[in-house]
Structure 1
Amino acid sequence: MTKILLNRVQYLPSSFIKLSFCRAPKSLPILQIKNKEYQADEISNVTPKILSYLNRNLHLQKDHPLSKVRQRIVNYFYSSFTHRGNPAFSVYDNLSPVVSTKQNFDDLLIPEDHPSRAKSDCYYVNSTTLLRAHMTAHQSELLKAGLENFLMIGDVYRRDEIDSTHFPVFHQVDAVRSQRKEHLFENHPGLEIFETTFDPETPHLCQNNIIDPVKQSCHTLEATKLMEAQLKNHLVGLVKVLFGDEIQHRWVEAYFPFTHPSWEMEIFYENKWMEVLGCGIVRNEILAASGPNNSIAYAFGIGLERIAMALYKIPDIRLMWSNDSGFLTQFQNKDLNANITYKPVSVYPQCTNDLSFWLPSTLTVDTFMSNDFYDLVRDIGGDVIEQVKLKDKFVHPKTKKQSLCYSIVYRHLERTLTQAEVNKIHKDIERAAQQVFGVQIR
């Protein structure tokens, strides 16, 4: 059996495992991630470059902008919610990013055919294990542990496009707040969380649905509206703490499989509306399956990078991963609530090269997965890849051969790249594309 230490390999094409299967389908590699072994299969698509980010924990690094935003959010919940003089919320910020598909999808009622499960969207270790795509993946396990109010903070992994605001790894704060009847209706003991037709003691015998856009069928309107009011008030308070009392906000109805009703909050930032978080009332099926069958809960998720980039005027998400002292020192030894505006140390020029190739007969311009190509480019070019864009699709009128053209923008954050350096990386990408996808360079 082949063993591949993915966190030590310098370069391995993202589709290496797929190609290995074609050559030796009976010899599937074993992947070793953080001292634990996982059996690869035909779904595996995690790459060494992605795994190299696993131990960085930027959200826990002192004075890092992501850590500052994390601490400000934690402080808000600590100060806003107390129980007998102690914080009511517990914080979990060092949970393993390797989770099961059950945790990431099934426990959250995400349907089998939901696009978020697609191999093109997630980094799968194998068909039953992946790098978490959201911190909500830990929600059920914490509820089963008996927790009612908690924050989950960490790095999450999604295959995505490449530009100044998208990176395959980013950081989230997710939260759950649960309330029983005696707490929710402390001043109105005659009101109920559940409809009289619903028995919370035997939820498996009661059919809950989300046909009504206003509430889940098991919940009373009073309980839903009171939780909605609390949720929105708490989150408005949070964005005011982060962006100031004058920040404008609005609520947009949304859909998430694990909450109903659901909303997104947008703030008016730099003359346009920017979405900053998603939230909603937790589906009762999730609570019942996790233990608390006599409560109602709200949940929300917020991305740290988006908040930090807006607060500190950071123009490129890659800077979050920079070890450049010119970047990091701007946030060191500063008050947590200080008004910091990032000042570019210097601006280095871009180098742009196009890459065109003919697709093999087994692929078309519509079935070729750009995210597969983006991962390959990242694996080879690393953090000097600033942006990759699909520039053109072409079908030859006579031969019917199909072609794609991608524009790749190279820029180093700390020095000027020479064209010779760029050309070498570009040639390596060409060779890898030929090897991995069977394309013919034009």
Structure 2
Amino acid sequence: MTRILIKTNRIISAVLSKYKFSTAAKSVASVQIKGKEFVADDYTNVTPKIISYLDKNLHLQKNNPLSIVRQRIVNYFYSSFTHRGHPAFSVYDNLPPIVTTKQNFEDLLIPADHPSRAKSDCYYINRDTLLRAHMTAHQSELLRSGLDNFLMIGDVYRRDEIDSTHFPVFHQVDAVRSQRQEELFPDKPELQIFEPTFDKTNPHTNHINDPMKQSCHTLEATKLMETQLKTHLIGLTQALFGEDIKYRWVDAYFPFTHPSWELEIFYENDWMEVLGCGIVRNEILVNAGPSNTIAYAFGLGLERLAMALYKIPDIRLMWSTDSGFLTQFENVDLNASITYKPVSSYPQCTNDMSFWLPPTYTIDTFISNDFYDLVRDIGGDIIEQVKLKDKFVHPKSKKHSLCYSIVYRHLERTLTQTEVNQVHKEIEKAVVDAYGVVIR
């Protein structure tokens, strides 16, 4: 208990200062991250707790299940694609997580009004800089450097709900494979990547009105790339889950690919999405340099795969340093069938928090993700889940009220109700100070 209270007291002032700024527009001069100072502004919403996850690199930590899955994926691409006896794909697994909004959005043709840009979805350092929300943020810079086949692997940061399958930091593998005409059609020089009527000097004349292809591409080129893409990803899925895994393709939409698909597998009597993919928009390729290629891209989450492969019930376990967890993945064959065995089960403690909102908020304008971040910053890793339990508008006073249920559970020991109550009180205090609410 003492350890948790010391930790709580140590971060509470920093947390409150951050949230007062983000919700009440108070002046905060700068944000310090990894020894570098960033100017703060009205977009700044990154929290001390989130900053503490930088450079953990779980995907590179020996005996972590994420690292095992990462290596299995890399091995598949190394063995499946070679050039003159060497792997055709290059791997970048230590790219810096701080990116510009141009890298994260504009370079990928994500519109200014797209919901993925919202402050409620991303961790902004300031209006122009954020913690990457996807590894695809590095796609254009790698294309610009002259690469054509590459994997990008690392941690990404998104504001989200709190439960056993969601965490504000997770890990992705994104990939791009591009081909020139002579590579795509080595034996058929009469076939073309681009439609004869397409003006390569003006890539923005490309359109995506046809669900089958981009207007710049020929149907033959698109279909051949689609076949390659789906064949390679089915092969990857079978390498991970076995030859008999059931799968299906679902049409999808992503701003940076067209056409686009999601791959689902039949897992535990239900369909589960494992990745998204598609043909890279030609505008992205031209803006990054290569104007004579066609490319496909895909992205997948390591946590989702690892939890399914090894039956890991709680995403927080990926961050555990407990030897009882890590030794289950120690010095194992990469392709071994592993089923996670719980070290022990500890009981949950659930406390509700109800409060009246000040007049500046309504039950519809209060952003739950702001509240989730505040709870996580103070409660840390003992927060298992936060749920919006009830919304209420008083019929006479017209005051708006919210009730959240907070589930506390430690992964390595039993929490006492006394220490949970203490952390709960600190969260109440933080909510009052940050938002001006009145605890019910």
Band the TM-score falls in, shorter-chain normalisation: over 0.9
Partner SS state of residue 390, structure 2: strand
Percent same amino acid among aligned pairs? Answer: 76
Q: Residue 322 of structure 2 aligns with which residue?
A: 324
Partner SS state of residue 10, structure 1: helix
Cα gap change, 1:222 to 1:197, in 2 (>3 Å): same
Q: Residue 391 of structure 2 aligns with which residue?
A: 393
1:361-402 deviation per Cα after TM superposition (whole angstroms, max 9, x unaligned)? 010000000000000000000000000000000000100001
Q: Residue 4 of structure 1 aligns with which residue?
A: none
Q: Which amino acid aligns with 1:194?
A: F
Tell whether the 8 Å contact from 2:386 to 2:407 is kept in structure 1 after alignment.
Answer: yes
Partner SS state of residue 399, structure 1: coil
After superposition, where does 1:35-434 map in structure 2 within 5 Å? 35-200=35-200, 202-204=201-203, 207-434=205-432
Give the number of aligned pairs: 431
Q: Which runs of 5+ in 1 are unaligned?
A: 1-8
Partner SS state of residue 327, structure 1: helix
TM-score by length of 1: 0.96
- Distance in 2 between residues matched to 1:437 and 1:229, nearest whole Å: 53
Q: Which runs of 5+ in 2 are unaligned?
A: 1-9
Q: CA deviation at 1:87?
A: 0.3
Q: CA deviation at 1:131?
A: 0.2
1:266-322 deviation per Cα after TM superposition (whole angstroms, max 9, x unaligned)? 000011000000000000000000000000000000000000000000000000001
Q: Residue 6 of structure 1 aligns with which residue?
A: none
Cα gap change, 1:66 to 1:23, in 2 (>3 Å): closer
Cα gap change, 1:24 to 1:246, in 2 (>3 Å): closer
Tell whether the 8 Å contact from 1:14 to 1:375 is kept in structure 2 after alignment.
Answer: no
Q: Residue 6 of structure 2 aligns with which residue?
A: none
Query: For the aligned residues, what is the CA RMSD?
Result: 1.4
1:10 equivalenced with 2:8 (yes/no)? no
Q: CA deviation at 1:11?
A: 3.9
- Distance in 2 between residues matched to 1:116 and 1:151, nearest whole Å: 23
Q: CA deviation at 1:14?
A: 5.2
Partner SS state of residue 406, structure 1: strand
- Distance in 2 between residues matched to 1:23 and 1:171, nearest whole Å: 32
1:19-48 deviation per Cα after TM superposition (whole angstroms, max 9, x unaligned)? 3489996x5422121122210001100001
- Distance in 1 between residues matched to 2:222 and 2:262, nearest whole Å: 17
- Distance in 2 between residues matched to 1:252 and 1:24, nearest whole Å: 43
- Distance in 1 between residues matched to 2:129 and 2:24, nearest whole Å: 24
1:19 equivalenced with 2:20 (yes/no)? yes
Partner SS state of residue 31, structure 1: strand
Tell whether the 8 Å contact from 2:11 to 2:378 is kept in structure 1 after alignment.
Answer: no
- Distance in 1 between residues matched to 2:321 and 2:368, nearest whole Å: 29
Tell whether the 8 Å contact from 2:16 to 2:430 is kept in structure 1 after alignment.
Answer: no
- Distance in 2 between residues matched to 1:388 and 1:13, nearest whole Å: 22
Q: CA deviation at 1:55?
A: 1.4
Instruction: Name the structure, 1 or 2, with higher relative contact order (CA <8 Å, separation 6+).
Output: 2
- Distance in 1 between residues matched to 2:62 and 2:325, nearest whole Å: 14
Q: Which amino acid aligns with 1:314?
A: I
- Distance in 1 between residues matched to 2:253 and 2:25, nearest whole Å: 43
Partner SS state of residue 386, structure 1: strand
1:234-265 deviation per Cα after TM superposition (whole angstroms, max 9, x unaligned)? 00000000000000000000000000000000
- Distance in 1 between residues matched to 2:35 and 2:178, nearest whole Å: 36
Cα gap change, 1:281 to 1:348, in 2 (>3 Å): same
- Distance in 2 between residues matched to 1:383 and 1:251, nearest whole Å: 36
Q: Which amino acid aligns with 1:112?
A: A
- Distance in 1 between residues matched to 2:269 and 2:16, nearest whole Å: 42
- Distance in 2 between residues matched to 1:174 and 1:185, nearest whole Å: 25
Tell whether the 8 Å contact from 1:13 to 1:436 is kept in structure 2 after alignment.
Answer: no
Q: Which amino acid aligns with 1:262?
A: S
Cα gap change, 1:24 to 1:43, in 2 (>3 Å): closer
- Distance in 2 between residues matched to 1:23 and 1:374, nearest whole Å: 17
1:216-243 deviation per Cα after TM superposition (whole angstroms, max 9, x unaligned)? 0000000000000000000000000000
Q: Larger deviation: 33-42 or 133-142? A: 33-42
Partner SS state of residue 205, structure 2: coil
Q: Which amino acid aligns with 1:261?
A: P
